[in-house]
Structure 1
């Protein structure tokens, strides 16, 4: 098959070959990056790239990029990764602690630039059609739908999830390999200068510009500058697909694109390449009549909202550019379904948790789903329900060996395979240290459901849409409440990162998750916060902390309402008490003496004006004497406890009328902390809220 000649850049579709992992030796990679190689094993080969230390799968074949940002320094994770078997690193400086003496290190001035340089070299090993997608909204939806529509004809590689950043784009391009026949990558930018860095890495043959809007506009002077920056992605594209009803978009594209680029516009204008004659919206769908190359087509889009209709029409035009007949496109569009923009975590039957990803089936999205599964600590047992993987381009023996290797790396306890192909390749999973069960069809699974005994586990449902695994999701869901509160965990992470932007570098974060995260789910929220490196959690009562520990939370947890009756439980689960006054301070000190504790972590609350709990200025002197005796390291004794933090509550900080009083609280708090640290002889964390 050959692409249409009017794409300008003529690319041949290669037949599927018997593929192997794309590998590079460490010396070659160093040369591509123009780095300095300090090698213990110069013959090491690399198949996988890693920028997030939490997502390690195949350590021996992984190259870790120690990326430094305002919030985090990747060099801090080298020692831990080395302990897990990683031996290859890209760094700014060599580690000085001697923790990775037998490692290979490529030293570069900028690790992000080095990652991009490697991806650039990798991209240009492939002469296949590459779609590049950008715009203010709709990039991920268009990418996922285009993948679904083109999968019957091509082996498609695409950006995982929303990997469209300066780091995500090179990580996406790295997924291209010998069996890839077509690629779809999305690009997002937040300021000027970013697109010119990633354009050569994607180097799209066909571009899709979704739309222009107000999203992510903070880094641009005006809408013209934002649009001009985004259009840089298509500077060498053979074809550019866009909607010409947006007049500014149409104007700038016609002004800025090279004459060699074929402009494939769609819209209501009579000048559109794909002209819309009518759009008639019904309750849940839209009837469209359009004309292309003097031929009229009538079809139905299974969505009625403007955004979805726009996204489908972008995909329609993209398929026309690929030479696919309108009748085939119309037939496939009928099967489109809403794209889940995030993995869904739900409460399941028998105290289980269910992750539903029954929308796509390929190796890259399987790895993302397994990453998410591994983050869930509420249950020790993990089950994966997976269907046949369609259109992978791999021989089935090779494909399911790779699936088995992935499951092995993620320590899966039970595998349930659904489909005739995965069932016939059950032998590929013989080395998996897990229970395995296979069914020829979803109906066969349903009939056996009662005997499978689900409970006290986290279950990932992963498969191709044609297997209708959403029915299995319904079977596994807990059916108790008619009213459901849905928490967007992506929004939680977004809010956390927005707060981090406001903090000085090095400032730690304690997240309050009392009252089961204020009704939003205790371990689910705590899991997300733990994965995204919050430093501390705080709860109101000991039993809340115990629930988090049982849910797999290992972060330090402060208990605010310490109760003497719960001292045993508190220590058993390594929870850290708030000693909020002389009485509870004395009670816990006597308890620690009784159990002969050493260095037990505690927190001290100061009373600065809230008049609720905490040590007052008058109560401070005897407490300071006790600290000198029990919490300060001595020559001949180990401290009974160690003070982790000192804190206080503001009474009226939200009211400007009380600013003078609030500043007075700050002054008193600072004075008290100076005295406490002097008594302890070491610095502690300080926080006031």
Structure 2
């Protein structure tokens, strides 16, 4: 990023108070503020950084972007809302570059598709990509403001929990190529229904570059719903069951054959199962649209590292297999995780926490989760959280409900062995990473605190 304060004031429709100067870096956290940064005071529900600025915690800042003028010596740009101003800045900065931008959304798999795409494109040069879970109205602008002349491509992950959010992020990022990984029952509380999810995700196609490329899942039932959003844009399709430009099949648990219009490759996936194959096909389709060669696609897929907390296979105590899928949870991603676990030898156990943001369907979907687990061959279910108790109810015999993480850890530490593969899965707010830390090989003596109920 490189703007004068006058430019920032014009872009954000703000008022400059103080001397104009040039800023080339920014911060939204006083704890990581560096000399000369533009400090953006992002007001949250429970936190107002204006108070920290007034208390002298932003002295290093070269300038401030604030919602009301403060009695401090730093130059200031006063705007109506700092989050909107951040988004305006990112949109203006992105517009300065001709770098191809890839936009990725979907109910499940978008982070894995992002990482696979980033790895493939890195064979061509520097890639700007979303870090961690910075995929919302703050994270996307912060990522885009990191664009510079060295980048050959940008890969932007877009998350949402309500309609209109993908539209906003797409208008900011202006992707040249967009892909929806899949549609599933995630964030139903905000979207209302599966069709609501599908329509909201399709905002990516509707508002991306009108001369761009829409990468579509040919197996997705909602594809006909998206035709109007896609319009006349060029399409590249991927899939397993339907005819598609990019398709593939498993030749072993992790080995796959991928076919594209220019030929085929044999490669190895980091995450086994059909979901891992779909993620690889989506990334390959994006890169096919960008005219990346087959060998580079193969190299990128094989170089991709597992994403922490997303179906990562770990060594547990007493030689047990542990599948860490604690990053988040919804019914569709649970089904995927159970499919991956089914390919592991031995007895299959499931540690399940609440799946959040499912709205009025929460209880029914947790009951279905218990049935799904039983049908998938789960021998033992250990659940924590009020909603997960409903899964125990339908799972039946060998299902147990616990009030605290510590109780589950104690059971697992006493009873796991090298004949068991345990899947640990729940929404982020359930903090099931505590269970992972408690049952990993050479687990720490401190097993973590107790579970606290939360708002999904």
TM more than 0.5: yes
User: Within the alignment, does 1:33 sit opposite 2:5 as a pair?
Assistant: no
In 2, are the aligned partners of 1:49 and 1:64 still within 8 Å (CA)? yes
Query: Are residues 331 and 178 of structure 1, via their aligned partners in 2, closer, same or farther at CA, if it must alter by over 3 Å?
Result: closer
Match status 1:94 vs 2:94: no
1:264 to 228, 233, 236: 236
**Aligned partner of residue 303 in structure 2, secondary structure:** coil
Unaligned runs of 5+ in 2: 313-411, 417-424, 432-443
3-state DSSP class of the match of 1:120?
Answer: helix
| Structure 2 counterparts to residues 354-393 of structure 1, below 5 A | none
Give yes or no for contact 2:30–2:58 (8 Å, CA) kept in 1: no
Matches within 5 A, 1:548-587: none
Q: In the alignment, does 2:20 pair up with 1:42?
A: yes
| Structure 1 counterpart of 2:35, from 56, 59, 79 | 59
Residue 245 in 1 paired to residue 219 in 2? Answer: yes
**Contact conserved, 2:130 with 2:155, CA < 8 A, in 1?**
yes
1:267-666 equivalences under 5 Å are: 267-276=239-248, 278-282=249-253, 285-288=254-257, 290-293=258-261, 295-340=263-308, 494=429, 519-521=446-448
The C-alpha deviation readout for 1:430-461, integer Å capped at 9, x for no partner, is xxxxxxxxxxxxxxxxxxxxxxxxxxxxxxxx
Q: Distance in 1 between matches of 2:129 and 2:250?
A: 30
Contact 1:128 1:183 in 2 (8 A): yes
The answer as to whether partners of 2:105 and 2:201 remain within 8 angstroms in 1 is: yes
Counterpart check, 1:23 vs 2:2: yes
Distance in 1 (CA, whole Å) between partners of 2:49 and 2:25 is 17
Q: 1:269 to 1:263 in 2, by over 3 A?
A: farther
The 1-side partners of 2:169 and 2:39 are apart by: 20
Contact preservation (8 Å) 1:196, 1:232: yes
The alpha carbon displacement at 1:23 in A equals: 1.9
Q: CA 1:177–1:299 in 2, change beyond 3 Å: closer, same or farther? A: closer
> Residue deviations 1:164-212, cap 9 Å, x none?
1111111010000122221111111111222222212111111121111
Q: Distance in 1 between matches of 2:278 and 2:87?
A: 32
The secondary structure found in structure 2 opposite 1:137 is coil
User: Closer, same or farther in 2 for the Cα pair 1:83/1:30, shift >3 Å?
Assistant: closer
> What's 2:197 paired with?
226
- Name the CA distance, whole Å, in 2 between partners of 1:112 and 1:139: 24
Secondary structure of the corresponding residue to residue 128 of structure 1: coil
1:553-595 per-residue CA deviation (whole Å, 9 max, x = no partner) reads xxxxxxxxxxxxxxxxxxxxxxxxxxxxxxxxxxxxxxxxxxx
8 Å CA contact 2:218, 2:242 repeated in 1: no
Whole-angstrom distance in 2 between the partners of 1:51 and 1:25: 18
How has the CA–CA distance of structure 1 residues 294 and 90 changed in structure 2, closer, same or farther, with 3 Å as cutoff? Answer: closer
* 3-state SS of 1:133 partner: strand
Q: CA deviation at 1:314?
A: 1.3
Gaps of 5+ in 1: 1-21, 345-481, 497-516, 526-653, 655-689
Structure 1 residues 492 and 80: alpha-carbon distance in aligned structure 2, compared to 1, 3 A threshold: farther
- Equivalent pair of 1:142/1:315 in contact (CA under 8 Å): yes
CA-CA distance at 1:86 after TM superposition: 1.8
Distance 1:304 1:492 in 2: 22
- Kept in 2, the 8 Å contact 1:203–1:233? The answer is no
TM-score, normalised to structure 1, is 0.44
**Length-normalised TM-score, structure 2:** 0.65
| CA shift in 2, pair 1:518/1:152, >3 Å | closer
The Cα offsets for residues 442-487 of structure 1, whole Å up to 9 and x where unpaired, read as: xxxxxxxxxxxxxxxxxxxxxxxxxxxxxxxxxxxxxxxx9699xx
Tell me by how many angstroms 1:103 deviates: 1.4
CA contact (8 A) 2:239 2:247 kept: yes
Tell me the secondary structure at the aligned position of residue 38 of structure 2.
Answer: strand
Alpha-carbon distance in 2 for matches of 1:268, 1:241 = 15
Q: CA–CA distance in 2 between the matches of 1:338 and 1:311? A: 12
Alpha-carbon separation, structure 1, partners of 2:268 and 2:188: 34
Measure the CA separation in 2 of the matches of 1:262 and 1:115: 31
Range with greater deviation from structure 2 (181-190 or 325-334): 325-334
- CA 1:299–1:86 in 2, change beyond 3 Å: closer, same or farther? closer
Relative contact order (alpha carbons < 8 A, sep ≥ 6): 1 or 2 greater?
2
Please give the alpha-carbon distance, in whole angstroms, between the structure 2 residues aligned to 1:190 and 1:37. Answer: 34
For residue 322 of structure 2, what is the aligned residue in structure 1? none
- Count of aligned pairs: 328
- 1:196 corresponds, among 153, 167, 185, to 167
Q: Which has the larger radius of gyration?
A: 1
* 1:124 Cα deviation after fit: 0.1
Given that 2:239 and 2:281 are in contact with CA atoms closer than 8 Å, whether structure 1 keeps it comes out as no
CA distance in 1, matches of 2:159, 2:16: 32
Q: Residue 92 of structure 1 contacts residue 109 of structure 1 at CA under 8 Å; is this kept in 2?
A: yes
- 1:302–1:172 CA distance, 2 compared to 1 (3 A): closer
Relative distance call for 1:335 and 1:105 in structure 2 (3 A) is closer
Moved over 6 A (4+): 482-485, 490-493
**Contact 1:286–1:303, Cα closer than 8 Å, also in 2:** no
SS in 2 for 1:334: helix
Residue 491 and residue 213 in structure 1: after superposition, are their counterparts in 2 closer, same or farther (change >3 A)?
Answer: closer
Q: Using a 3 Å threshold, how does the CA distance of structure 1 residues 301 and 27 change in structure 2: closer, same or farther? A: same
